[in-house]
Amino acid sequence: MSRPRLMVLCGRSARHLYVANALCRAGEVEAIVQETGGDWRLGKTLRKLRPANLLRKVWRWLRDRRRYTGNPEAKFFFPDAEPRLDHPELVREVPHINHPDVVRLARELKPDLICVFGTSLIRGELLDEGRLGIVNLHGGLSPEYRGADCTFWALYNNEPDKVGCTLHYIDAGIDTGRLIAHISPEVGAGDTELVLFWRAVQDSAEVYAEAVARIARGEPLGVAQPGRGRLYQVKDRGLRHEKKLDADLAVGMLRDVALPRRIRWFSRDMAAEPRA
């Protein structure tokens, strides 16, 4: 069987490059599309400049600058080298992921599968591309944890067993498409939000590659989500929430937790397949 032809849509952080490299090993990647963030449409720009939105962005920038000092994410995913794509020659840059150029490229390349991780929300005609569909890696366990900062909220809600990532087909909703797999990382004493999130993504890269192969073989992966769960938005997370989680972790919230890595596949032909 020939390797599936892929089109990858991803961000530019170390975690995104790590997953993109795993996908390049899983199939024949025709293009890696990355957003430059140069989308200055008037309506969107005005929304960003609203006082509440601007204040939130400044706060997140200050918080992330403190958390990412020394680039710990790069060291986690690329401990022996600078973060890089294995195939930088495949990169195509666009102002935003729903730019007409992305749809044109998909129609030109006609990939078997479009693989997504770390882009803006996909809308419009792009949703209809990909012979076998569009798959996304989401940083939470859908449907209970959809949207933003799902590792944080699982810990905040004292549900470390619900830290993880979801592989799912993309539909018009936010993290609501048919489930392919849940990937839950090892969780133990001393773990932090960022380490757990990165560990989940690292484990998910391997599962993503396996999912590509299984979908290409025609396996009936993908089942409807059992409800909508909760959609967490960026604006939901505030300083008081962060202080509470910091305090809970400091007094040993994870002291007696020792969860192994867990993978759960979802197939239309059988009950969900758990796997360690």
pLDDT at res. 269: 82
- β-bridge partners, 146: 231
Burial 125-159 (b: 16+ CB within 10 A, else e): ebbebbebbbbbbbbbbbbbbbbbbbbbbbbbeee
pLDDT at 50: 62
- Check pLDDT > 80 for residue 16: yes
Residue 171: Cβ-neighbour burial (10 angstroms; 0-12, 13-18, 19+): middle
Distance separating alpha carbons of residues 91 and 113, to the nearest angstrom: 17
pLDDT at 54: 64
pLDDT of residue 14: 96
Residue spans per domain, the chain:
5-275
At 202 the pLDDT is 98
Q: What is the pLDDT of residues 220-237, one digit of tens each?
A: 999 999 998 999 998 899
Quickly list H helices, the chain. Answer: 14-26, 42-48, 51-67, 72-77, 100-109, 150-156, 193-216, 239-250
| Tens-digit pLDDT profile for residues 151-200 | 999 999 999 999 999 999 999 999 999 999 999 999 999 999 999 999 99
Is the pTM higher than 0.85?
Answer: yes
What per-residue confidence (pLDDT) applies to 71? 86
Query: Tens digits of per-residue pLDDT, 86-132?
Result: 999 999 999 999 999 999 999 999 999 999 999 999 999 999 999 99
pLDDT score of 261: 98
- Give the model confidence (pLDDT) of 44-59 as tens digits: 555 555 665 666 566 5
- pLDDT band for position 2 (cuts 50, 70, 90): confident
List 274's β-bridge partners, or say none: 264
- pLDDT confidence of residue 40: 53
3-state secondary structure of 218: coil
More confident site: 54 or 248: 248
Average pLDDT over residues 16-41: 90
How many residues are there in the chain?
A: 276
The 10s digit of each residue's pLDDT in 134-154 is 999 999 999 999 999 999 999
Burial of 19 (0-12, 13-18, 19+ CB in 10 A): buried
With a pLDDT cut of 90, the percent of the chain lying above it is: 80
**pLDDT tens readout for residues 65-91:** 556 667 899 999 999 999 999 999 999
Which CATH code for domain 5-275? 3.40.50.12230
